[in-house]
Structure 1
Amino acid sequence: MKKIFLIPFFAMGLMPLASRAQTYTYEKSIALPGDAGWDYLSIDKVNDRLYVSHGNAVNVVNLKTEQPVGVIGDLKGIHGIAIDNKANRGFISDGKANAIVVFDLKTLATIATVPIDGKDPDCIIYEPYTDRVYSFNGDSNSSSVVDPNTLKQVGTVELGGGPEFAVSDGKGNIYNNLEDKNSLDVINVKSLKVSANYPLAPGGGPTGIAMDIKNGRTFSGCRANKGMSVTDIKTGKVIATLPIGAGVDAVAFDPETKLIFCSCGDGTVTIIKEENADSYTVVQSLKTQNRARTMALDTKTHKIYLSVAETEPNSRKALPGTFKVLVYEMK
């Protein structure tokens, strides 16, 4: 009888994560200083740090201890944080300053402020194929391209619409949601031109985006229809639309577990399973907290992190001393 029970239990431990039951539950919250608004979260996998945009500062959390370890301050109104481990530099999009602020990933010290020609830089990513940093500028419908070594702007991409989140395939293309055009731009990083534009219908008002590079699929969270559009990047066709919560902002994909996460302002994270490249299933509606709309995924631990604060009744104004990061783990 012992063998009957021991063998399947051992075998279950050897099963890949994508084959196991996958349910997310609340683990803890991490209190952070400051009372301003919040936006993107980013993870530095090399240095095990979480960066949380927070009004005019960035809160920094050690992911090993899950405790705050620093603040990057004296900013004007920030949105996102991009990580370039090759140069040991981080890049912050300071929307109100129309600039990119550069800091040292080890010391968190500010290195430089790079003025750009774009207005209101919002999303920001590091693109490894050409070793460049791209900001996506909400008020100028453009992307500013910065050399992370010289810290100079080296190009501009005209996008043809209002940009939201973007993701690189690491092979020479960036995929960027255009919120006001209900479509997806494909940017050629060599020519700095939009090489294609794909409609996301029935999706509308796309914000967050993630990518399964191996299968050539992008996942765009769309607010207008409360749906996630799955696009085949070879054909530009939407092959599936999945129901998600209201007020989606961020989207993340875990290539090991094959789970897609859509964090929504209605206090939910819709978790979707990629069964294969063309088949998807909603497996969980995770309850979080109202207005916990932004998120980062740690692909090492498979935890997700969402920033949020308590707010005044019928208001978006944060209550003092309530800002935190919510942590959810996979069981």
Structure 2
Amino acid sequence: MTMKRIFMTLALCISAGVLSATAQTNWQVTNTFHIGGEGGWDYVTIDAPQHRLFVTRATHTLAIDEDSGKVLGDIPGQVRSHGVALVPKLGRGFITDGGGSGAIIIFDLKTYAVLGRIPTMPDSDGIIYDRKLDKVIAVSGDGNALMTFSPDIDPKNGKIDPPIDLGGAPEFLASDGNGKVYVNLENKDLVAVVDLHSRKVIARWPVAPGGHPVGMAIDRAGHHLFIGCRNPHVLVVMNTDNGKVEASLPIGTGVDATQFADGHAFASCGDGTLIVASEKNGTWEVDQTVKTAAGARTMGLDRRTGQIFLPTAEMQPNGTGRPRPKPGTFMIVEVGRK
């Protein structure tokens, strides 16, 4: 354990909780790791026990040390990678590859070696692992489907379960651990509720006044979904029992991810802002808008330390289009509580 980790752990013990909802909110950028290399970026997945983050970079996926920013491994062989799910008990990781007809890459968590490639559906995108159900769950944007399979799947010859039709294009998802999966349908402005036991969509809930929902996180204990919407730019707080929208909070443009931990909800936006919100006396409010860096639209949150990690790069003008990342400037921006 590094000295940084030791002091951080002591500080957390003294404060009686990393993200205590009653503590003063004062988040700021605490470090920037300059990684470099080629490729864009998408979702971030945290391996808290091993102090690692996994970041997909189109044709490859990086494993990065949380403390130093050192690249620990580089997993090759993707066409257009999106997300990573981890199953530590089996020593396996799973990467969605949305290129071509779609696939999921299975890799070894220790060696980063590719174990196999499972055919899926086009535009395989968001992916999670539900430990209670012991299922890997992913979505296919172009296939309008939810996909599931057991994490012990044969990496060479295994097949996914029969896909579940969602009736819209999914982006990201969350599971309640009891058989219900919530999926953002970004082209329908809806959340689809899937019962994995019957393998059917049992409800479709509007995200209005939000629209174009992309990022999603869940508070299982509090029965809340946190949905990042791009048009209009709001963070929607939705009840997981009945789909009621309990709050709609203003956020920045280009949101792509949300997180929740210990009473705080977060939304990372491509305009270089990170929104921090919490509930006070039954009302959700924005506590702080943290300035991060342009392009930092996705994030991972380490619940053991409270640190948030956002991938981005130096952005440069691109004529009349949106700015493009400058080659070789990929970085991880770290945000923590002051």
Q: When the two structures are superposed, what TM-score results if normalisation uses the length of structure 2?
A: 0.89
1:14: Cα distance to partner?
Answer: 5.2
SS in 1 for 2:21: helix
Please name the residue that 1:299 is paired with. Answer: 303
Please name the residue that 2:265 is paired with. Answer: 260
The 5 Å alignment of 1:1-331 reads 13=14, 16=17, 17-97=20-100, 98-116=102-120, 118-151=121-154, 152-255=159-262, 258-275=263-280, 278-314=282-318, 315-331=322-338
> 2 CA distance for matches of 1:14 and 1:149?
40
Listed one character per residue, the Cα deviations across residues 104-156 of structure 1 (whole Å, up to 9, x for unaligned) are 1121111110011x211011111223322122111111122222112431221
SS in 2 for 1:153: coil
* RMSD across aligned positions (CA): 1.7
Structure 1, unpaired ranges of 5+: 1-11
Runs (4+) of structure 1 exceeding 6 A deviation are none
Give the share of equivalent positions with the same residue, in percent.
39
Report if the CA contact (8 A) 1:46-1:85 is conserved.
no
Structure 2, unpaired ranges of 5+: 1-12
> 2 CA distance for matches of 1:309 and 1:238?
34
SS in 1 for 2:38: coil
1:260: Cα distance to partner?
Answer: 0.8
1:179: Cα distance to partner?
Answer: 0.5
Report if the CA contact (8 A) 1:130-1:189 is conserved.
no
Amino acid corresponding to residue 31 of structure 2 in structure 1: K
> 1 CA distance for matches of 2:221 and 2:325?
40
1:15: Cα distance to partner?
Answer: 5.5
1:92: Cα distance to partner?
Answer: 0.2
1:318: Cα distance to partner?
Answer: 2.2
1:13: Cα distance to partner?
Answer: 4.5
Amino acid corresponding to residue 102 of structure 1 in structure 2: I
Change (3 A) 1:78 1:14: closer
SS in 2 for 1:86: helix
Query: How many residue pairs are counted as aligned between the two chains?
Result: 316
> 2 CA distance for matches of 1:31 and 1:74?
23
SS in 1 for 2:99: helix
> 2 CA distance for matches of 1:174 and 1:191?
12
Please name the residue that 1:5 is paired with. Answer: none
SS in 2 for 1:96: coil
Q: When the two structures are superposed, what TM-score results if normalisation uses the length of structure 1?
A: 0.91
> 2 CA distance for matches of 1:186 and 1:86?
28
1:168: Cα distance to partner?
Answer: 1.2
Amino acid corresponding to residue 263 of structure 1 in structure 2: S
SS in 1 for 2:266: strand
Report if the CA contact (8 A) 2:58-2:81 is conserved.
yes
Change (3 A) 1:47 1:15: closer
> 1 CA distance for matches of 2:137 and 2:285?
33
Listed one character per residue, the Cα deviations across residues 220-261 of structure 1 (whole Å, up to 9, x for unaligned) are 111101111111111211111111111111000012xx1111
> 1 CA distance for matches of 2:235 and 2:15?
32
